[in-house]
Amino acid sequence: MEDDFLDSIEARPFYQIIQRKYQDKVARRSGVSYMNHIREGAFIVRSIYGNDRDLIEAFCLHPLFQNDKLLSQLLADTSDDLALISPRAIVLGMEYRRIANSYTIKNKIRNPESIEIGSIDKVHKMLVADKIQNKKDFMKYIYRKHARPSYQKVSQHGLQYFNSWLDRLSVSQDMYDRVVGWVEQSETQQHQSRSKFKT
């Protein structure tokens, strides 16, 4: 990710909230930090839609609303975290929760036309960034990584799931490839910058 962009959001309360909640948590199958999804997703939001503060804040915080356990913890928290979240981000987060949870990877594959996406533009944009980033990691770390027939079946289901979402969100293969290229290029540049700094 671009250092100046990350620097611009890492000091903001909403980013610190999700960072505290995720801390050192990693995805079970890939071993990738949960914060990777937040950083890359926020980068995708900014790259496609510009530096929209409400949109970036809502995207960064969306996991707190999407998961029942985390939402309950947020509501029961006696710290000032909830007060630090903007009302717009809360509304967007709750609408995102409603839409995203209506079709998850655990469901049977649906025809794209049957997937509800709602009418709120910023929620649509959050979904675009979320599904592009999730598919990127799925293809990199999970898709066809094992030869077992049961794993291949799960792998194919995951690909169909992400493709159905991206089709419904009007994200073409060309757009997906282009955005993933931006993310990977930025990661390479960041890695090179860190290497130069160390030497």
Kindly write down the DSSP assignment for every residue of 78-140, as one continuous string: -SSHHHHS-HHHHHHHHHHHHHHTTS-TTSPP--GGGS---S-HHHHHHHHHHHHHHHHHHHH
| pLDDT for the residue 135 | 97
Per-residue DSSP letter, 18 = H
Q: Can you tell me the distance from the alpha carbon of 101 to that of 80, in angstroms, rounded to the nearest whole number?
A: 27
Choice between 186 and 131, residue whose per-residue pLDDT is larger = 131
Per-residue DSSP letter, 24 = T
| pLDDT for the residue 23 | 82
Q: b/e per residue, 57-80, with b = 16+ CB within 10 A?
A: bbbbbbbbbbeeeebeebeeeeee
Phi/psi of residue 48, nearest 5 degrees: -85, -45
Q: Can you tell me the distance from the alpha carbon of 183 to that of 1, in angstroms, rounded to the nearest whole number?
A: 7
**Per-residue pLDDT tens digits for 119-164:** 999 999 999 999 999 999 999 998 867 666 666 778 899 999 999 9
∠ CA 37-38-39, rounded to 5°: 95
Least-confidence region, from 5-9, 11-15, 144-148, 157-161: 144-148
Confidence of residue 191 (pLDDT cuts 50, 70, 90): low
Q: In which residue are the tokens 């709750």 written?
A: 94
Residues in the chain: 199
| pLDDT for the residue 78 | 82
| pLDDT for the residue 195 | 60
Q: Can you tell me the distance from the alpha carbon of 17 to that of 84, in angstroms, rounded to the nearest whole number?
A: 9
Mean pLDDT across the stretch 181-188?
90
Average model confidence (pLDDT) for the chain? 90
